[in-house]
Amino acid sequence: MKRAIFILLALVLISAGVFAGGQGEAKKVKLIYMTAGDVNMLALGQNVFGPEFEKKYPNISLVTIHTGPGNAGSQRIYEKILAESKSNKEEWDVDVAMVHQIFMKWAMEKDLLLKFAKDLDTWKYVTSPFAKKALGVDIEGYAMPMFHSQTALAYNPKYVKNPPKSYKELEEWVKKNPGKFGYNGIKGGMSGVSFTVGWVYAKTGKYQKYAVTGPFEQSEVNSWEGVFKDLKEFNKYVTFTAGNVGTLDALNRGEIWMGPVWVDMFFTFMNEGKMDPNTKLILPEPGMPGQPMYFVIPKKAAHADAAKKFVEFATSPEIQAKDIVERFNWYPGIDGSYLKDYIPKEVYNKIYRDVTPKDLAKKGLAFPLADYFSAILESYEKWVK
């Protein structure tokens, strides 16, 4: 009899558990994750983060929405969140978003974001100055860097024995090797933009003012005529490539011997067998810009807590090592030193082989303040035509 009661009780408990589980199922949170960036960002959300995150938190499902590459992609996210803020709704649709630096300027101006980053367990791993400021705008606490992508010069050591170590040496080098340096101008993708920004830093020596402290002064812009006339001269010895990928392709086909590339694209090409594994990287003095992409949570996100869990998950050393570095070849958003235990040694060495963490700290520069940035791009169009 006792036994029967016990079994009955057990059954009741189990069925209660099942039903409770069922109820939990009904309440499953749909976390809306909007991401800018190339198609690989969609793949990351949909095929990597989605399944892994759901395994850890079975009652949250991740819905990834991809808006498109470059600032235009971030712009669409900004417009969506801005529209929601104007709608006076209490709960906004987008729970968490992945954005570029310029987004931070736009969104901070309109006060669209939640201050969440310091609540995360993983905030303590963040050492990057990019987490404090984006294009001169104070963003500490409002954004969590997921990864850092860096530009550098890639070169083919078969033809280039002693790569130029600075922009100055590069200027000499192209004259000796006309047509063998290639980049994509400023309208063909960000690697060319980054090279041009680095050029301005090198020629003026005013990185601190343009990218960190400010302020913006028109007199600075007016002083750039010589800087860009030199670039115009430089361009005479240069091959123009067809986009970010165009530079990598041209390098691999041997059309050019050197050119600015995104480091992550470079390693991805190499892993996919589309790039000669002997090709090397160098960060020339005084450095070239790179940029992070950030997680942000809109101010009235419907599922802010779940969103925080998601960001915490994606910025944990384990995921940063496995997905961000190993799979997608970015530099981590958190401090690289926390990843050593989670990453095979050869991967760590490959990614930091040519450009060491020390190089990165010294020569991994930021893009300039938004006003200087626009001024650089526009001056290029004005003087180099």
Partner 1 sequence: MGKIVMSDNVQKRRGFIFPPYILLLFPAVSFMLLVYAYPFVSSVLKSFINKEGALSLDNYFKAWDLYLKDILFTFSITVFNTIASGIVAILLAVYFRLHESPISRFLLNLYRLPIFIPFVVVAQMMNSFLAPHGLLNVALAQLRLIDLNNPLQLFNFIGLSFGFIWKLAPFTILIIYGGFQMIDNSYIEAGRSAGAKWFKLITRILIPMNKPSIMVALVLIYSQIVGTFTLPYMLIGGKIPTTITVDIAHRVNYFRDFGVANALGVFSYILVFVTAIYYLKTKVKEVK
CB of 152 to partner 1, least distance (A): 18
Per CB under 8 A, which of residues 247..266 are in contact with partner 1?
249-250, 253-255
Chain center to CA of 214 = 23
CB of 71 to partner 1, least distance (A): 5
CB of 240 to partner 1, least distance (A): 5
Asked if residue 112 lies in contact with residue 85, where contact means CB atoms within 8 angstroms, the answer is yes
According to CB under 8 A, which one of 28, 124, 187, 274 is a site residue for partner 1? 187
Contact map string, positions 322 to 361, toward partner 1, x by CB under 8 A: ----------------------------------------
CA atoms of 334 and 128, how far apart (whole Å): 7
Residue 161 engages partner 1 in binding (rule: CB under 8 A) = no
Nearer to partner 1, 225 or 381 (CB): 381
According to CB under 8 A, which one of 8, 20, 72, 83 is a site residue for partner 1? 72
Chain center to CA of 81 = 20
What the block records as the tokens of 217 is 């002064």
CA atoms of 141 and 134, how far apart (whole Å): 12
Nearer to partner 1, 169 or 378 (CB): 378
Is the Cα torsion angle 343, 344, 345, 350 positive or negative in sign? negative
Long-range Cβ contacts of 43-49 (<8 Å, 24+ apart) = 44/323, 44/328, 45/98, 48/323, 48/327, 49/310, 49/313, 49/314, 49/323
Residue 9 engages partner 1 in binding (rule: CB under 8 A) = no
Nearer to partner 1, 71 or 204 (CB): 71
Residue 150 engages partner 1 in binding (rule: CB under 8 A) = no
Q: How many CB atoms lie within 10 A of CB 244?
A: 24
CB of 75 to partner 1, least distance (A): 7
Segment interacting with partner 1, rule: CB under 8 A, options 25-33, 49-57, 129-137, 182-190: 182-190
Asked if residue 339 lies in contact with residue 348, where contact means CB atoms within 8 angstroms, the answer is yes
Residue 184 engages partner 1 in binding (rule: CB under 8 A) = yes
CB of 287 to partner 1, least distance (A): 21
CB of 326 to partner 1, least distance (A): 28
Segment interacting with partner 1, rule: CB under 8 A, options 184-192, 214-222, 257-265, 283-291: 184-192
Residues in binding contact with partner 1, number by CB under 8 A? 31
CA atoms of 102 and 104, how far apart (whole Å): 5
Give helix 243-252 / helix 190-204 axis angle, nearest 10°: 90
CB of 275 to partner 1, least distance (A): 14
According to CB under 8 A, which one of 43, 52, 70, 230 is a site residue for partner 1? 70
CB of 174 to partner 1, least distance (A): 16
Segment interacting with partner 1, rule: CB under 8 A, options 144-152, 183-191, 210-218, 272-280: 183-191
Q: Which residue has the tokens 């990834």?
A: 64
Q: Which is nearest to 318 in space by CA: 96, 58, 52, 132?
A: 52
According to CB under 8 A, which one of 241, 279, 291, 329 is a site residue for partner 1? 241
CA atoms of 154 and 261, how far apart (whole Å): 6
User: What is the length of the chain?
Assistant: 385
CA atoms of 35 and 69, how far apart (whole Å): 9
Residue 378 engages partner 1 in binding (rule: CB under 8 A) = yes
CB of 188 to partner 1, least distance (A): 3
Rg (CA), the chain: 24
Three-class SS state of 27: coil
CA 193 to each of CA 149, 214, 247: distance values in angstroms, whole numbers, following the listed order:
14, 20, 13
Phi, psi (degrees; rounded to nearest 5) at 271: -65, -30
CA atoms of 65 and 9, how far apart (whole Å): 46
Residue 189 engages partner 1 in binding (rule: CB under 8 A) = yes
Residue 377 engages partner 1 in binding (rule: CB under 8 A) = yes
Nearer to partner 1, 75 or 122 (CB): 75
Give the footprint of partner 1 on this chain (CB under 8 A).
70-72, 75, 183-189, 192-193, 239-243, 246, 249-250, 253-255, 374, 377-378, 381-382, 384-385
